[in-house]
Chain A
Amino acid sequence: MNISDILTLERTFANLECASKKRTLESISQWLGTKKSSFDSKELFNALINREKLGSTGFGDGIAIPHCRLASCTEVTGALVRLTHAVDFDAIDQHPVDLLFVLLVPLEATDEHLQILATLAGSFGRPEFRESLRLAADAHAMYKIAIA
């Protein structure tokens, strides 16, 4: 499964301004709620925040992969967000986060989930990939980099 299979330009957000981890996930939930009528913002926010309580999805180098299973999710859905200012995400390396790939998965999908995590780890694990996303001019540029 490639990033191009789950990400759309519409779900790429270049310059989100948020002051905290909670506000970031709230804003993202609200924003995604407008993108897909089947998603309920509140349900999404609760699912994402509950996953964070099990352990931060901030995996280092300014990256986070907030994710959750949703009953209302029929297919693996991705969103890419860049924050104008990095926020404290309680990340594994204690560094603030400014790049997030949000992953929404249907209740039953398990191996698919692992495959896409591997794909994301592969891309976001590369310093050049992260830096080019940070330097991209806008959502369109970010999207092109992400799906390449």
Chain B
Amino acid sequence: MINQKITIINKLGLHARAAAKLVGVTGRHGCSIQIGTEGKMVDAKSIMSVMLLAASQGTILDLKVSGDGAQQAVDDVLQLVNNFFDEGE
């Protein structure tokens, strides 16, 4: 299993549009992907679950990925998050 910390850096945080982009990325991978904080890990392929996190700008989340292609999945998620969910800020 890969454990990766990710920081939400975009201004609006993990709002609905960003959450939709996230599940768009995670949904492409067959491995199991969870995201959240200690005690509140949710399925990163479910948009309703991701929105439960209410992760604002600056929030640090854990990404836990296991299965085939886990590293690629981690890389893809990191790329999206670090690119401000393509929101520019």
A residues at B contact (CB < 8 Å):
54-55, 57, 59-60, 63, 65, 67, 92, 110-111, 113-115, 117-118, 120-122, 124-125
A92: B residues at CB distance < 8 A: 20, 23, 47
B residues at A contact (CB < 8 Å):
11-17, 20-21, 23, 47-49, 51-56
Given contacts A55-B20, A110-B56, A114-B55, contact A121 B15 (CB under 8 A): no
Given contacts A110-B12, A110-B56, contact A117 B51 (CB under 8 A): yes
Looking across the interface, which residue of chain B has its beta carbon closest to that of A92? B47
21 contacts between A and B (CB under 8 A): A55-B20, A57-B16, A59-B16, A59-B48, A59-B51, A63-B48, A67-B16, A92-B47, A110-B12, A113-B12, A114-B14, A114-B54, A117-B16, A117-B54, A118-B51, A118-B52, A118-B53, A118-B54, A121-B52, A122-B52, A125-B48
Report the separation of the CA atoms of residues A32 and B53 in the bound assembly, to the nearest whole angstrom: 29
Let me know if B15 and A113 touch, CB within 8 A: yes
| Distance from B18 Cβ to chain A, minimum over Cβ atoms (Å) | 10
B49: A residues at CB distance < 8 A: 121, 125
Let me know if B52 and A54 touch, CB within 8 A: no
Let me know if B17 and A121 touch, CB within 8 A: no
Besides A117-B16, A118-B54, 12 new A-B residue pairs in contact (Cβ under 8 A), listed by A number: A55-B21, A59-B48, A59-B51, A63-B48, A92-B20, A114-B13, A114-B14, A118-B51, A121-B48, A121-B51, A125-B48, A125-B52
| Distance from B72 Cβ to chain A, minimum over Cβ atoms (Å) | 23
A115: B residues at CB distance < 8 A: 54
Report the separation of the CA atoms of residues A59 and B51 in the bound assembly, to the nearest whole angstrom: 11
Let me know if A111 and B52 touch, CB within 8 A: no
Let me know if A114 and B56 touch, CB within 8 A: yes
A120: B residues at CB distance < 8 A: 51
Looking across the interface, which residue of chain B has its beta carbon closest to that of A121? B51
Given contacts A114-B56, A115-B54, contact A59 B47 (CB under 8 A): yes
Let me know if B17 and A54 touch, CB within 8 A: yes
B13: A residues at CB distance < 8 A: 110-111, 114
